[in-house]
Structure 1
Amino acid sequence: MIFINIIFGKFVLFLIRVFSLGDGSTWPGHILLKLNKNFVKDLLKMNKQLNCVLIVGTNGKTTTSSLIDHILKKLDKKCFRNNEGANLLNGIASAFLKNATLTGRLEYDYALFEVDEFNLPFVLQQITPSAIIVLNLFRDQLDRYGEVNEIHNRWLKAFKQLTPNTQIFTNGDDPYLYYLVKDLDCRKNYFGVDIGKMKRTDLPHDIDFSYCPACFHPLQFQKISFSHLGKYLCENCGISSPKVEDFADRSLKYPLKGLYNIYNVNAALMFIENEVTPIKNKDLNYLLSGFMPIFGRQEPIIYQERKVFLHLVKNPVGFNQTLETLFKTKIRSNANFLILLNDRIPDGRDISWIWDVDFDRLLLTAKYISIGGDRAFEMYLRLKYETVLLPIDKVRRIKLKVYRSAEEAVAKSIMNLKQNEPLFVLATYSAMLEVRKILVGNKTK
């Protein structure tokens, strides 16, 4: 049965490629699961040597998966992943199909899968992973997921089915994730950042959790990195931050900018050290050397002899952290921005989250802000409301302009640039793919 499934699935994949109907990252798997709902489980029974690794979280899945893939290849390990971003079960099934032989063999050491937050329980019904990496949990796509408590409860039920054969790597700076895994029977590891990197002592307004997940009393935060990630204590029940691993203590030079990327790098390295091989301090920087930002994530692009930086933004925490990183590393004053806001299925229909983004500093720094996307006028309105709180001389200097197409928005934004001025593009997922196609074509690497 499994052989017939594979042959049929590869034929579907062949037709998709011949007729240029896409990259085959979802439909072959979708059709296979209709024919055999246990296709993934059946295939894994034939490949017991394969170590499956699930990576879940609101932000950072693609970066963390890419980091692990990069390191594994340097260690001469064979791996594959769902690198097209197809993180539902049909995308995972498609990845298995693409990499299986006609006889059903998967000649790899590791399979890395980014997993959609809502669909993690369904994936765990088909895959018994050797490891799960749990990065974070923030508000995202409220129309799909509801509030974060809904996702947390789904994960809590799903994780109770894990066995000691699974090793779990969790962001210990997230109180709700720590509570989620602390009593599980499987092997537990916690990554995070050193308290010295945390600058905030007050609760940010985009915080998703401020109450103890065990007893619902207010949490006390000694320091906060961003949102609800930090060093915490519940004075009522005693739940507190676990000891976390921060590889910066081992003279690591991080290849990516931003505090949020420190979490991603630490997660990847902790997985490698505990699941693959111990890492000597002198080898840390070698293993990360040559790693380049993934498409749309701090990606530098040269377009018409101008430098463009492309950033994916899809929720309040991610947007705020992207801006914070830009202000610390690249932006000084009179910067040029292009903001693209779509509300398609991959982005989420609900765009109310833009009202939780801190745009004041962006407006104080910007010279030109071009706005595009399906919901460009809503973004324009959001920015105009923000200007009410700004000094009048700053407001007069800012130039906001709405464009009806991504092509026009890119063209006009490039025209506004002076010599050696960069353009910073901030785009939701479908808008990022759209603008990236304009800038570089269909390349994803």
Structure 2
Amino acid sequence: MNFKSAFASLVGKSSYWILHNIFKGGTSFPGKIAMKLDPDILSHLANDYETIVVTGTNGKTMTTALIVNALKEKYGDILTNPSGSNMQQGIVTAFLCHHKKHAGRKIAVLEVDEANVKAVTQLLHPKAYVLTNIFRDQMDRYGEIYTTYEKIVDGIKLEPNAKIIANGDASIFSSVDLPNPKVFFGFETKDENQAKDTKASVNTDGVLCPKCNHVIHYHQISYANLGDFFCPNCGYKRPELTYKLKEIISQSPSKIAFKIENSNFEINIGGTYNIYNALAAFSVAREFGVSEAEIAASFAKNKRIFGRQELINYQGKEINLILVKNPVGLNEVLNLLNTEKDAYTLAALLNAHHADGIDTSWIWDADFEGLDKNKIKQVLVGGERHHDMGFRLEVAGFNPGTMETTPDDNTLLTRIKTAPTKKVYILATYTAMLALRKTLYDEKVISNKIN
């Protein structure tokens, strides 16, 4: 490391210490300072690491956490960016604040924003890319799904020897001919009730064949546009899977049991989408020599991540805080809520900052109409665009008499104290989630905040 990089590293680490120990934050600002002093600081910090890049629309943070925990079973300490700060400055901060000593293999597992894959690849030279899925998300930033994938491919092309570990059920991920070694994972469960030749429901994006633009068909659909796809026009079909989900044993809002390959697994979180995250982590771990027994042990110890079905005890209420950011992810969360057996209070917080996506029309593509309204005893709407969210829920059939507007987080928490149910589900866009967590941190309800 040259003097410029060493100085940038010192300043970045010092700023992290101050922000972390005094202000209890600092997930990206130290990296921003270091990059100002040395734009190439990341290449020096990551020089002797085997780096795994995790990218895609949904599930990056949870997949990264599950991969880290699985690799820890075999290799001990793993460097990562657990806060979900996935731009360059956040990744630099992750390296700056990592102080543990490595006795053996040095591995970094990094969540990377889709639009930043190329810039990060130029500095990190990843050993593997993990591709979760691509759905419409923040179209003001990414454009359509094909534009998003192009951004990812532009990065992968810089490292033709890096292994691609991709969701084989997403038709887009096998559509571009890349020289990289490839590993695909997917669902191969037996559902005798599902038609063997079916199409995705209307209003599902990404259902045109990426080769000929004919409508894709499926032997089986897991959710949205994911499944065992084939094109009846040109013959394009799902690639051969290396790792397969064989069975979903049971599901609840707080736990999923399933079988991958030869072993049964459990994770302490709900949602079919999280099975894909676990399957991705399983695939990476097996490619890095971790046994199925070690993976099962790591899954059993998994903890909920901030804002991703994060459980918070508040004034005798059980708050489940869930990040939502696009129609597909929100629909899967709504499906999760329909597995809840008890009555609950629903809060929906909508912001429209750059990090959320400034266009809020995506909430109209989510199936709020399909929620089991008998279990929802009160509805709270909040965030800066609470009027939009309230109107959307009213159109979905919710009684305006059971809905209450909470224009700020203090009002929201006051209403939660007197909610008619013990369980409270809060669905929040990214900046709304961060703002609520800051309020909870200030009230000493939670011990960590994310900047």
TM range (shorter): 0.7 to 0.9
Corresponding residue of 1:379: 389
CA displacement, residues 319-355 of structure 1 (integer Å, 9 cap, x when unaligned): 1001102212x145x5311111112232121111101
Q: CA deviation at 1:18?
A: 6.2
- RMSD, aligned α-carbons: 2.5
- The equivalent position to 2:301 in structure 1, one of 276, 290, 313, is 290
Q: How does 1:124-203 map to 2 (within 5 A)?
A: 124-164=121-161, 166-180=162-176, 183-196=177-190, 201-203=198-200
Residues 206 and 317 in structure 1, CA contact (< 8 A), matched pair in contact too: no
Residues 63 and 264 in structure 1, CA contact (< 8 A), matched pair in contact too: yes
Range that drifts further, 339-348 or 52-61? 339-348
Q: How does 1:50-65 map to 2 (within 5 A)?
A: 50-65=49-64
Residue 10 of structure 1 pairs with residue 13 of structure 2 = yes
Query: What CA distance in whole angstroms lies between the structure 2 residues aligned with 1:131 and 1:55?
Result: 9
Corresponding residue of 1:254: 266
Query: What CA distance in whole angstroms lies between the structure 1 residues aligned with 2:109 and 2:30?
Result: 19
Distance 1:413 1:205, change over 3 A: farther
Equivalent residue letter for 2:43: K
Distance 1:242 1:398, change over 3 A: farther
Residues 373 and 404 in structure 1, CA contact (< 8 A), matched pair in contact too: yes
Query: What CA distance in whole angstroms lies between the structure 2 residues aligned with 1:129 and 1:356?
Result: 36
Q: How does 1:89-108 map to 2 (within 5 A)?
A: 89-99=88-98
Query: What CA distance in whole angstroms lies between the structure 1 residues aligned with 2:37 and 2:417?
Result: 49
Instruction: Give the SS at the match of 1:402.
Output: strand
Query: What CA distance in whole angstroms lies between the structure 2 residues aligned with 1:77 and 1:441?
Result: 28
Distance 1:42 1:438, change over 3 A: closer
Residue 341 of structure 1 pairs with residue 340 of structure 2 = no
Q: CA deviation at 1:313?
A: 0.9
Residues 394 and 400 in structure 2, CA contact (< 8 A), matched pair in contact too: no
CA displacement, residues 206-249 of structure 1 (integer Å, 9 cap, x when unaligned): 42211111122221222211111111111232210123222524
Corresponding residue of 1:35: 37
Residues 378 and 420 in structure 2, CA contact (< 8 A), matched pair in contact too: no
Question: What runs of 5+ residues in structure 2 fail to find an aligned partner?
Answer: 246-258
Instruction: Give the SS at the match of 1:409.
Output: helix
Corresponding residue of 1:392: none
Instruction: Give the SS at the match of 2:175.
Output: helix
CA displacement, residues 173-219 of structure 1 (integer Å, 9 cap, x when unaligned): 00011214xx3222210111124369684423442211111122221
Q: CA deviation at 1:73?
A: 2.3
Residues 68 and 272 in structure 1, CA contact (< 8 A), matched pair in contact too: yes
Equivalent residue letter for 1:31: I
Corresponding residue of 1:305: 316
Query: What CA distance in whole angstroms lies between the structure 1 residues aligned with 2:237 and 2:447?
Result: 46
Residue 364 of structure 1 pairs with residue 388 of structure 2 = no
Q: CA deviation at 1:126?
A: 1.0
Instruction: Give the SS at the match of 2:58.
Output: coil
Corresponding residue of 1:118: 115
Query: What CA distance in whole angstroms lies between the structure 2 residues aligned with 1:32 and 1:106?
Result: 27
Query: What CA distance in whole angstroms lies between the structure 2 residues aligned with 1:121 and 1:161?
Result: 8
Residues 338 and 371 in structure 1, CA contact (< 8 A), matched pair in contact too: yes
Distance 1:312 1:218, change over 3 A: same
Residue 263 of structure 1 pairs with residue 276 of structure 2 = yes
Range that drifts further, 130-139 or 30-39? 30-39
Equivalent residue letter for 1:358: D
CA displacement, residues 62-118 of structure 1 (integer Å, 9 cap, x when unaligned): 1111111222222242211111221011111111222269xx999862111100111
Q: CA deviation at 1:434?
A: 2.6
- The equivalent position to 1:323 in structure 2, one of 302, 318, 334, is 334
Residues 58 and 138 in structure 1, CA contact (< 8 A), matched pair in contact too: yes
Query: What CA distance in whole angstroms lies between the structure 2 residues aligned with 1:274 and 1:137?
Result: 23
CA displacement, residues 18-52 of structure 1 (integer Å, 9 cap, x when unaligned): 662x623212222222222211123334x2xx211
Equivalent residue letter for 1:30: K
Equivalent residue letter for 2:351: N
Equivalent residue letter for 1:312: L
How many correspondences in the alignment? 423
Equivalent residue letter for 1:91: G
Residue 273 of structure 1 pairs with residue 282 of structure 2 = no
Residues 355 and 382 in structure 1, CA contact (< 8 A), matched pair in contact too: yes
Query: What CA distance in whole angstroms lies between the structure 2 residues aligned with 1:264 and 1:399?
Result: 35
Query: What CA distance in whole angstroms lies between the structure 1 residues aligned with 2:102 and 2:213?
Result: 49
Residue 408 of structure 1 pairs with residue 408 of structure 2 = no
Query: What CA distance in whole angstroms lies between the structure 2 residues aligned with 1:367 and 1:397?
Result: 12
Equivalent residue letter for 2:60: K
Query: What CA distance in whole angstroms lies between the structure 2 residues aligned with 1:16 and 1:286?
Result: 34
CA displacement, residues 354-392 of structure 1 (integer Å, 9 cap, x when unaligned): 0101011226332211101110001011112222xxxxx
Query: What CA distance in whole angstroms lies between the structure 1 residues aligned with 2:297 and 2:144?
Result: 41
Q: CA deviation at 1:17?
A: 4.2
Question: What runs of 5+ residues in structure 1 fail to find an aligned partner?
Answer: 388-394
Instruction: Give the SS at the match of 1:168.
Output: strand
Query: What CA distance in whole angstroms lies between the structure 1 residues aligned with 2:311 and 2:390?
Result: 26
Equivalent residue letter for 1:305: G
Query: What CA distance in whole angstroms lies between the structure 2 residues aligned with 1:157 and 1:95?
Result: 24
Distance 1:422 1:14, change over 3 A: closer
Instruction: Give the SS at the match of 1:353.
Output: helix
Q: How does 1:196-235 map to 2 (within 5 A)?
A: 196=190, 201-235=198-232
Range that drifts further, 406-415 or 5-14? 5-14
Distance 1:233 1:271, change over 3 A: same
Instruction: Give the SS at the match of 1:184.
Output: coil
Residues 363 and 398 in structure 1, CA contact (< 8 A), matched pair in contact too: no
Query: What CA distance in whole angstroms lies between the structure 2 residues aligned with 1:402 and 1:271?
Result: 44
Q: Percent identity?
A: 32
